[in-house]
Structure 1
Amino acid sequence: MTDNELLSMAQTFGTPLYTYDAEKIKQQYNKLSNAFDKQTRFFYACKALSNINVLKIIEQLGAGLDCVSIHEVNLGVRAGFSADRILFTPNCVDLSEIEEAMQLGVHINIDNISILEQFGNKYAGSYPIFIRINPHIFAGGNYKISTGHIDSKFGISIHQLRHIERVMKSTGLNIEGLHMHTGSEIKDVDVFVQGLEIMFEIAEHFPNLKYVDMGSGFKVPYTKDEVETDVDRLGKKVLNAFDTFQKASGKDLMLWFEPGKYIVSESGCFLVKTNVIKQTTATVFVGVNSGFNHLIRPMFYDAYHHIENLSNPNGPERIYTVVGNICETDTFAWDRKLNEVKEGDILVFRNAGAYGFEMSSNFNSRLKPAEVLYLDGKAQLIRRREVFEDLLKNQIEVL
């Protein structure tokens, strides 16, 4: 998508607006798949962006789907994913939600001893499962999105392996997959290799093992100085380690990954309109017609999004603080250099395809934005902008 095309979308569909470039999604997926061999499968982590049109594009690419709620599983089925291409990895859910997923025939990943015992006592080895291991590896990045450290709620501790074995032996559980996911901003390729070595160490305890799932964490660059994960180097290192293990053990395993942000983040742009320019004694605020109700990542994760002024791309650079219209501290960027901004100008937030619309809300009773897919040179509306009546559609007036 060119900047002129983005401006045209803002004029056609209004702002705030999320836009996704289908071709970029395909490029990111192909970059991953080309770096690994046929023994590797990719399951898109749809919590990053779950619009059903995006899911259909990813299904057509041949990927699987990683789901963390039963509703994501049902979206995947609706989008055309077969059961064997869906992995369900919930946490802190009741056994009944797992049983609902079983009825659909998808892969089940259990991440705590309590549910493992309940499942084993009820179903024994009649339904093969994965178990999620917490390796106690801190993979870097924001602590809020690192999931493999010792304080994380995710997974069964590597130090509880004996407990897992006792449950498996006493109930007859059929464990066909081991899963490990350490975080969402892994900058060091060797973290994956370190995790894989841990998987190899415990693999011998699971005689029915077919799959090793390394989660994701592929780095997406947000600033000009950052670089994305070198997936070609990762592919060589991981596949070499995998090949060595398989020759030594005699086990013929498949390797799985669950990229989410890596596939969709760079495809997305978020367009907003400048409402006010406000000069104070400390700064110049650019107040836009959105807020953390639409893009919470900067406030929640201290995330950086590159911002540009599409309406005045060649204007002189000035320093601004970009803020939203929510009645809370609502800052997208402090002391950011932008080409001179005037009221009415359209700004674009880059790298907004992951966890943008997906984490949006109606805080302050404000409406959620529209979504547009840019496919084959054409911009198509894939989610209408909310209207006032949407705020009331599930409310019951009793007075």
Structure 2
Amino acid sequence: MSNESPLIQSMRTAVAAAPADVPLRLHLAELLLGEGLGEAAVAEAAVALQHAPGDAGARALMMRAMGLPAPADGKAGTAEEPEQPAAHRPSTGFDWAAAEDEVAGAVPPRFVTPAPAPGPGATAPEVPLAADGSGDPGDATAWEVDTPGSVTLADVGGMQEIKDRLEAAFLAPMRNPELGRLYGKSLRGGLLMYGPPGCGKTFIARAVAGELGASFMSVSINDVLDMWMGNSERNMHEVFETARRQAPCVLFLDEVDALGAKRSRMQHGGMRNTVNQLLTELDGVGGANEGVFVLAATNVPWDVDIALRRPGRLDRTLLVLPPDAPAREAILRYHLRDRPIESVDLGKLVKVTEDLSGADLAHVCESASERALLDSTRTGVVRMINMKDLLGAAKEVRPSTDPWFASARNVAMFANEGGMYDELLAYLKKRRKL
């Protein structure tokens, strides 16, 4: 690009600011072709065709850039004469396969794999209407929504204090809509769960959906962010629109610190707009969020925009800590249930795994299995997993929560604005981690 003229460089800047502007991109391609930069012109024309597959000017420009003759009639599917299907289209001498090979490194394919053919007796899927009543639902059908599951808080081992807080502050009002209406409580809610990684925040969110008999929809930053300007905000809107159509629905925003990071720290305007859109959707103007329960999870609540925790949005917080003794026993029992074990003292194992997260406990069971498997291959005699394997694995696994507590301690001690981290401070004092 260093050999390009200042005009072309300026045009590239303009195209980068408006990537979906097809005429602007074709003007850049014309300038590139005029400078003898045929390959660059082909790439720009190919991107233009992605945005406007039937654009005659883009096709003609690509043919010229590749040194191929234009169609005899000089047209390639105009508004007056629609482009004919490939089976009936007169030959133009243009090799589209060669064109695709030419730009394969610059432009990704529009479709990776063809849609599977419907099986015998299958019917065409019903197309849902958009929010405005039109027949174009956008990408709403792309969001995966799980039907009400059988997992409830009874399936969460231990953690009784967390269950009690969920019941009192969140679940009880939602289970009793009549009482809610009596006291003017809307059938909606928002809860922010925070704590070290691997401690079951996602599982708790699914359990809450089961308790409410609601659909479950999990969304992360990868589902929302898009490289094109405005698409991220549109995706955020479609996420909430899907949840509203599926109400009652638990909408789980995973790693909300990425979706709703502090705008004061952002340099990119696109991300600020995405956070603004999230705030607007959480407000649900006109009661649009009735029946939508928003649960959010983060490992770093101090990085979440303060506006997200305003009353009416994610106004409740719940600290999810490493599993207590009953929870550790339930987790260990779960991960050992299908493995060949003998003489395992779960009570002793629970005592030596204090401070380990649920993910750490799963790793202990996996490591113990590897020890027994390796010993069996060396000796040629298959043996069971025993306490020695499990205790040895537990000794080697360091709590993955330690780095989190090291960071959280400073925040809880010196940035506890409004008492948000009082519960965390009490835990740190109790465990002598201060």
Give the structure-1-normalised TM-score. Answer: 0.27
Query: Hey, which of these two has a bigger chunk of helix by percent?
Result: 2
Relative CO higher for 1 or 2, CA cutoff 8 Å, sep ≥ 6?
1
Query: Hey, which of these two has a bigger chunk of strand by percent?
Result: 1
Larger radius of gyration: 2
